[in-house]
């Protein structure tokens, strides 16, 4: 009875600890892929938060087909009814005219600059504009600025800004000779919680299915970050349920098969539950926001924690002593230390996912170790090994002894396999951040299509930094002039187009006054009967932020205590040309989020390679201290062979390696050291062979589940560990000395 009380007290204590942490922290489960990524420097992080947070909350629909107008209107009404307001509003020309009117003569279009070259060219330009009665910019500005400098300026800017056409308050665009009606909606920031994202996506999907049924000849495409969030969250929840269930069933089968006892099943479950509760409590205490992919990777804790239970129960079944053997206690402690050190290193990872997995597993293993050490041994007298398992262990021992005699050939075969794999596919790293994405192909294709529809499929986002606003505007103007000289087809809309610097406004004003003295504006004076006069009022950023263009300007400029910045899109310019401009100007940055994140992952991959090397070195020192130099040399050689087999085989099967292969290799390294330690301490004893075989089988099953994931990162992680465990299971016994003939009989 006492042992049941202690077990339930232990579980109750862990459950209470978890409940207290949840109550205090109020944790949130996140599924935003970008939340996992390494952070950039502070300046870039600030710019990203300011410029691109709005884009994250945007969803876009494109509609084409026979009844596109009806579908557009019905979908628009549904969006409004569901509190998803339109995000795109075209400024009215009359409102813009009223705002810019006080600055007439200080804001000049390129066409107007050319026209005021002399009186003849200006007269031709002026009378041609006056004859265009239907031109909305002429009719809206003629009474405000008779010189038409304002109308010409607004016409140029609106032509650049307006990517779409406006037909009866509907946005339209043409692509590949097809007409598309466009809708942009703004979702709330709290829609990115897992449940909220799934509910919103399901609601939109249901509405689109209804529209498809009512109007079968119409096609609606949709895109937006929230759809990726929902897709990845749903996939992660499905994989967690599937992998967890299959792993649990496999473990139950193994335990019942080996021990034929419900007590053994209870003790294994107790160890796993301890690991999960302890790991979850510490994880939520350290991180108030946990990513759902952390939970997918953390399923692997089941495969590691139950090893402690296997070794503990099998050790209790051997001999007539009470409690654990000294060798088992030492091996368990060394196992805990080596595995924990491997995972603890992940806490310092710049990638949040790895840091969270590291904390969860280390805390979980410590809980499992305590449970095994103090709770499991209380059931010693109820544990026995099934007779068929003993027979299998004896046969397996004979096989291992045979393999040990063929040690040289096994090592030669391993080296040969590594060589063939490397010659077939040389090892290379591919750390594309999209390896974390499990979105459906249709959604990815919709994103690509909408980028093409918006004219951004060949565009490059750039960010200009400066010390103050006027310096920023001057730098933007200089960059545009230089870029268009080198690439005349370049298209870019800059803040400095809508807001020329004060220096540029002064130059424009001086030009207009000089041309007035030369009589260029005589047609204007003849038309109005009034002497021509240019404005002296200066347009500032503060004024523009109070204009009808304020929503657009707020998205283009950021002001900080230490710098100001503006982002813009450049199209029809080779990436190499933009890279040259960026390398020549420290204030100019070519911004590619995927490339930046992938570069960060690549940098961390190199750090992981160094970590693997250091892990092998530390293991060699540990082995030399505990088992001697000769044994340490053999064990270190096996570790190197195992890692080499993993990397070479994964490279062949995947085409390249990623950070997740290296992460899996780090885990295999920790498990490999466990196997090597247990073999050296307990040799080829029957119980040790059963424990290591069970450990390997359960881990291969649990981790092998991950190799079925459709998320490339999880697949790579699972495949790596599957290959590594098979390799170390064969290679680890090769470090033992061949027993003498009497022992071998």
pLDDT digit string, tens, across residues 521-557: 888 888 877 777 778 889 999 998 888 888 778 878 8
Inter-residue contact 342 to 615 (CB < 8 Å): yes
Res. 87: pLDDT tops 70:
no
> In angstroms, how far is CA 151 from the centroid of its own chain?
46
**Residue of 502, 498, 600 lying closest to 45 (CA atoms):** 600
Q: What percentage of residues in the chain have a pLDDT greater than 70?
A: 90
Least confident of 66-70, 167-171, 369-373, 559-563: 167-171
What is the per-residue pLDDT for 32? 59
Helix/strand/coil for 530: coil
What is the per-residue pLDDT for 5? 87
Of 374 and 231, the one with more pLDDT: 374
Res. 33: pLDDT tops 70:
no
Of 208 and 261, the one with more pLDDT: 208
Helices (H) and strands (E) in the chain, counts: 32, 12
pLDDT band at residue 174 under the 50/70/90 scheme: confident
Of 42 and 692, the one with more pLDDT: 692
Strand partners, 372: none
What is the per-residue pLDDT for 533? 78
Query: What is the average pLDDT across 221-243?
Result: 79
What tens digit of pLDDT does each residue of 98-109 get?
A: 999 999 889 999
As a whole number of angstroms, the distance between CA 636 and CA 62 comes to 59
pLDDT band at residue 501 under the 50/70/90 scheme: very high
Of 234 and 474, the one with more pLDDT: 474
Strand partners, 466: 564
As a whole number of angstroms, the distance between CA 383 and CA 551 comes to 72
As a whole number of angstroms, the distance between CA 265 and CA 565 comes to 62
As a whole number of angstroms, the distance between CA 353 and CA 290 comes to 9
Least confident of 135-139, 561-565, 591-595: 591-595
pLDDT band at residue 502 under the 50/70/90 scheme: very high
Burial class (CB in 10 A: 0-12, 13-18, 19+), 683: middle
Res. 165: pLDDT tops 60:
yes
Query: What is the average pLDDT across 414-435?
Result: 85
As a whole number of angstroms, the distance between CA 317 and CA 385 comes to 7
As a whole number of angstroms, the distance between CA 60 and CA 396 comes to 61
What is the per-residue pLDDT for 61? 92
What tens digit of pLDDT does each residue of 183-218 get?
A: 888 777 555 566 777 788 889 889 999 999 999 999
Res. 232: pLDDT tops 80:
no
Res. 56: pLDDT tops 90:
no
Of 326 and 455, the one with more pLDDT: 326
pLDDT band at residue 133 under the 50/70/90 scheme: low
- Beta strand extents in 524-576 (DSSP E only): 557-559, 564-571
How many alpha carbons fall within 13 Å on the CB side of residue 65?
17
Res. 173: pLDDT tops 80:
yes
- DSSP annotation of 535 reads -
Q: What is the DSSP string of 152-172?
A: HHHHHHHHHH--SEEETTEEE
User: What sign does the dihedral 289-293-299-301 (CA atoms) show?
Assistant: negative
- Beta strand extents in 399-551 (DSSP E only): 459-466, 491-492
What is the per-residue pLDDT for 331? 84
Q: What is the DSSP string of 179-204?
A: EEEEEEEE--GGGGBHHHHHHHHHHH
What tens digit of pLDDT does each residue of 637-664 get?
A: 999 999 999 999 999 998 888 888 888 8
What is the per-residue pLDDT for 433? 66
What is the per-residue pLDDT for 741? 55
- The tokens describing 28, both together, are 């949130």
Strand partners, 337: none
What tens digit of pLDDT does each residue of 342-366 get?
A: 677 777 766 677 788 888 888 999 9
């Amino acid at each position: 009875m006492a042992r049941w009380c202690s077990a339930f007290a232990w579980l109750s204590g862990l459950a209470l600890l978890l409940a207290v942490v949840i109550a205090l922290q109020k944790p949130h489960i996140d599924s935003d892929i970008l939340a996992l990524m390494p952070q950039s420097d502070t300046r870039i992080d600030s710019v990203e938060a300011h410029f691109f947070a709005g884009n994250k909350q945007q969803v876009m629909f494109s509609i084409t087909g026979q009844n596109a107008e009806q579908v557009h209107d019905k979908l628009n009404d549904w969006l409004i009814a569901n509190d998803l307001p339109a995000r795109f509003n075209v400024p009215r020309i009359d409102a813009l005219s009223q705002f810019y009117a006080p600055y007439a003569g200080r804001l000049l279009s390129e066409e107007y600059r050319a026209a005021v070259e002399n009186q003849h060219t200006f007269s031709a330009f002026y009378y041609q504009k006056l004859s265009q009665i239907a031109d909305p910019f002429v009719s809206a500005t003629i009474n405000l600025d008779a010189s038409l400098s304002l109308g010409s300026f607004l016409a140029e800017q609106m032509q650049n800004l307006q990517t779409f056409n406006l037909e009866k308050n509907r946005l339209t665009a043409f692509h590949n000779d097809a007409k598309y009606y466009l809708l942009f909606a703004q979702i709330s920031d709290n829609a990115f919680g897992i449940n909220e994202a799934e509910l919103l996506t399901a609601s939109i999907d249901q509405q689109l299915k209804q529209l498809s049924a009512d109007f079968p000849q119409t096609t609606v495409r949709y895109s937006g970050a929230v759809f990726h969030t929902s897709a990845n969250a749903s996939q992660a929840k499905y994989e967690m349920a599937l992998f967890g269930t299959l792993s649990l069933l496999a473990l139950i089968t193994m335990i019942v098969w080996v021990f034929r006892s419900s007590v053994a099943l209870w003790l294994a479950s107790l160890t796993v539950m301890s690991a999960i509760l302890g790991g979850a409590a510490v994880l939520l205490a350290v991180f108030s926001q946990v990513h759902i992919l952390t939970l997918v990777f953390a399923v692997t804790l089941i495969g590691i924690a139950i090893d402690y239970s296997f070794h503990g129960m099998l050790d209790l079944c051997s001999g007539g002593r009470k409690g654990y053997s000294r060798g088992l206690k030492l091996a368990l402690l060394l196992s805990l230390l080596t595995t924990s050190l491997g995972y603890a290193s992940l806490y310092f990872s710049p990638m949040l996912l790895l840091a969270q997995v590291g904390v969860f597993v280390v805390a979980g293993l410590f809980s499992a170790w305590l449970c095994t050490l103090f709770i499991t041994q209380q059931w010693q007298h109820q544990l026995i090994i099934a007779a068929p398992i003993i027979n299998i262990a004896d046969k397996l021992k004979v096989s291992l002894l045979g393999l040990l005699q063929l040690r040289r050939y096994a090592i030669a075969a391993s080296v040969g396999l590594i060589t063939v794999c490397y010659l077939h596919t040389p090892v290379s790293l591919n750390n594309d951040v999209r390896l974390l994405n499990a979105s459906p192909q249709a959604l990815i294709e919709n994103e690509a299509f909408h980028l093409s529809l918006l004219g951004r499929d060949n565009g490059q986002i750039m960010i200009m930094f400066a010390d103050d606003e006027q310096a920023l505007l001057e730098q933007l103007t200089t960059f545009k002039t230089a870029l268009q000289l080198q690439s005349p087809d370049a298209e870019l809309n800059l803040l400095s187009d809508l807001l020329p610097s004060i220096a540029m406004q002064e130059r424009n004003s001086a030009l207009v006054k000089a041309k007035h003295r030369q009589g260029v504006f005589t047609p204007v004076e003849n038309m109005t009967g009034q002497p021509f006069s240019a404005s002296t009022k200066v347009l500032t950023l503060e004024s523009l932020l109070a204009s009808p263009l304020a929503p657009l300007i707020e998205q283009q400029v950021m002001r900080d205590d230490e710098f100001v910045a503006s982002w813009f899109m450049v199209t029809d310019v080779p990436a190499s040309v933009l890279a040259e401009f960026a390398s020549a100007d420290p204030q100019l940055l070519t911004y590619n989020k995927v490339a930046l994140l992938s570069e960060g992952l690549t940098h961390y991959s190199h750090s992981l390679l160094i970590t693997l090397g250091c892990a092998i070195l530390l293991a060699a020192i540990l082995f030399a201290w505990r088992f001697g130099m000769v044994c340490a040399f053999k064990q270190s050689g096996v570790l190197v062979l195992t890692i080499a087999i993993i990397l070479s085989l994964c490279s062949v099967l995947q085409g390249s390696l990623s950070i997740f292969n290296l992460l899996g290799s780090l885990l295999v390294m920790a498990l490999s050291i466990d196997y090597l330690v247990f073999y050296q301490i307990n040799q080829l004893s029957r119980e040790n062979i059963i424990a290591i075989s069970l450990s390997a089988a359960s881990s291969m099953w649990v981790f092998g589940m991950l190799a079925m994931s459709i998320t490339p990162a999880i697949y790579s992680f699972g495949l790596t560990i599957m290959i590594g465990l098979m390799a170390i299971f064969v290679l680890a016994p090769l470090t033992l000395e061949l027993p003498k003939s009497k022992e071998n009989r």
